[in-house]
Amino acid sequence: MRIEWDVPVEMDDGVVLRADVFRPVTDGPVPVIMTYGPYAKGLPFERGYPSAWKAMARDHPDTVAGTSNTYQNWEVVDPEKWVPDGYACVRVDSRGTGRSPGRVDPFSPRETRDFHDCVEWAGTRDWSNGRVGLNGISYYAMNQWQVASLRPPHLAAICPWEGASDFYRDGSYQGGIRSTFWDNWYDMQVKTVQYGVGETGGRDPNTGLLICGDDLLDAAELAANRTDLGADIAAHPFYDSYHRDRSADWDAIDVPVLSCGNWGGQGLHLRGNVEGFVRAASGAKWLEMHGHAHWPLFYTDYGVDLQKRFFDRYLKDEANGWEDRPAVQLQVRHVDATFTERGEDAWPLPSTRWTKLHLDAAGSSLAAGAPDAAASAEFAALGDGAEFSTPPLTEETEITGPLAARLYVSSSTTDADLFLVVRVYSPTGDEVVFQGALDPHTPVAQGWLRASRRRLDPELSTAHRPYHLHDRAEPLEPGEVYALDIEILPTCLVVPAGYRIALQVRGRDYVYPGPSARLSNLKNDLTGCGPFLHNDDRDRVAGTYDGHTTVHTGGDHASYLLLPVIPGAE
């Protein structure tokens, strides 16, 4: 490879960002795979994220085979696996991070404009064929949706791998309830590699350069050069221009899209990929849904081959039959954590049999018929709630697609937070959980709603995907019963006969009743929801969220869970 370190890329306001460029030893122009983000291009994957690296190498040995791993970085492509196939790989440190000076403001319009200009810079180099593709995980996926909304002329295709697209609904305020994820992420993964931290940021083993720039800034200067992300989010509890500016503009996204999501990415790495596939204006778009942990599959032979076939078609014009593949490629999940690959024509799946299971508080049951008699289940509003279960299934049942619930709820106070968990139990009573995007004990599906945010968008809502406006609070009248339509994020599972399906309605985050786990880049132990917790006391204030919540069933209050049942499960 030809490698150019720390190449200057000047922005419209004069700030010079820094990029590393890996390209073939050839004089001909080649297409570009680009990433722009805050994780420091000089920080090796193995050093910066050691527990994730060890797990990936152990469980997916093909991820570290066929490469020296010298240039492996967190959540971006390995140039040793791409450059030999005729691609240039460009990594840009985003403004204020790594070796790029400036003020850190993640996902802001300033960052998105920078990314736009970096795409145009790469598309106009003499070694570029003028086609730039974007490919990366998480942050490097989320900002693909944003920059594609600006339509850079040299942007030719995007592959957002497990990345949110709605800054409010996908990660900051799930169901209107504030998540503390971004606060902790900022401390652990961005501030640690902010431009100017000096030797504490380490040195790039390939260049010997300081990973975070040659300037040394004191604590006050560092703080002045970054936004307070947690405070920014807390200051915008409703979906307003702040969140809109950090989200996709679906009508503007017209380039080919390969959107890849994770069944176990309920906190950040699932909803946005499905929404992106369904709502992007592009006439050439595909959805791929898989399981496993968040980062490894991207680097496996499966992931790299999938990505290359997509980009070969749209960055090289190779006639490889990509357009003939099904619009939706599923890794159908089984209770033993194995997968069966299957293609489908659309999302939700055309064969879906939408099935209502009604709650009955009298017997804590879920059943096809609505109970005639009214009943109720009351629980502490910050507690573990009430659970409703089917009897053992009489036949194998596949559930694949978006879920929803309509619950009739009252509160002893003026608001209530609802945490919905779809659970599956084996004949011996053991809960079926999976290695999720981050948490090794992730439940089958989750949804959230703050009752005061119950107002729906009439244009975007469907029976299987309630879409909440989140533009105002409408307090509850204590004791009054309200109908709440609640989005539950998509899932996929073939449930064997003899297993039970349950819906738990909780007042706090799900907790797996077993051992926790840990990743080196996260603050909290992983207890079932990964780092995506809703435990900010400033958001769930005493006197409003610590009363009692009641779920009403039967009679005039036919609460139900809506399941996407797929006939003819394998």
Q: What pLDDT, on the 0 to 100 scale, is given for residue 26?
A: 87
What confidence tens digit (pLDDT) does each residue in 216-269 have? 999 999 999 999 999 999 999 999 999 999 999 999 999 999 999 999 999 999
Q: Is the peptide bond before 348 cis (omega within 30 degrees of 0)?
A: yes
What residue type is 146 in one-letter code?
A: Q
| Segments of the chain with pLDDT less than 70 | 569-570
- What is the DSSP code (8-state) at residue 496? P
Residue the block writes with tokens 């009743």: 513
Measured on CA atoms in the order 264, 266, 269, 274, is the torsion positive or negative? positive
User: Structural domains in the chain?
Assistant: 2-161+177-236+295-325 (3.40.50.1820), 353-566 (2.60.120.260)
Q: What pLDDT, on the 0 to 100 scale, is given for residue 124?
A: 98
* Distance (Å, whole) CA 182 – CA 225: 18
* Distance (Å, whole) CA 450 – CA 543: 15
Q: Is 130 helix (H, G, I), strand (E, B) or coil?
A: strand
- CB-based contact 135:77 (threshold 8 Å): yes
Q: What pLDDT, on the 0 to 100 scale, is given for residue 131?
A: 98
Helices (H), 9-108: 45-48, 50-59, 79-82
CA-only gyration radius of the chain, Å: 24
Measured on CA atoms in the order 166, 168, 174, 178, is the torsion positive or negative? positive
Q: What pLDDT, on the 0 to 100 scale, is given for residue 27?
A: 83
